[in-house]
Amino acid sequence: MQQPSETTERLTRQMLEDELERARIRRVEVTADMLTLYLDDGRMVGMPTGWSPRLTNASDAERQHFEIIGHGTGLHWPDLDEYVSVRSILLGRRSAE
């Protein structure tokens, strides 16, 4: 089996980085169990709220009080001091808490 060249690996990494940078939030739904993002390019991506202790332990009113930040690259819950980025969801990263 042929190994990918360093140039191919670098291009593949750059394509991934470019894709992560272009992903923008258009609409958001938050339930007790799931955070769902609807992106400008038509994709729907999500994460279980269980990945974020602050969202898990929040009231429904606190979960619904969010703002889209960074020109659509992330979300902020001011009452919870919680931030979630599109990038972290696309990469499958849980809260570090």
- Reported as a single tens digit per residue, the pLDDT across 23-46 is 999 999 999 999 999 999 999 999
More confident residue, 2 or 86: 86
pTM: 0.81
2 confidence band (pLDDT: 50, 70, 90): low
Least reliable range by pLDDT among 16-20, 22-26, 50-54, 61-65:
16-20
> What is the three-class DSSP state of 2?
coil
Output the CA–CA distances (angstroms, integers) from residue 82 to 12, 17, 46, 69, in the order listed. 31, 24, 16, 12
Write down all domains in the chain, each with its CATH number in brackets. 23-90 (3.30.2020.40)
Half-sphere exposure for 49 (CA within 13 Å, toward CB): 20
Of 23, 35, 22, 20, the C-alpha closest to 80 is 35
Q: Tokens 């659509």 correspond to what residue?
A: 72
Residue 94 pLDDT > 90: no
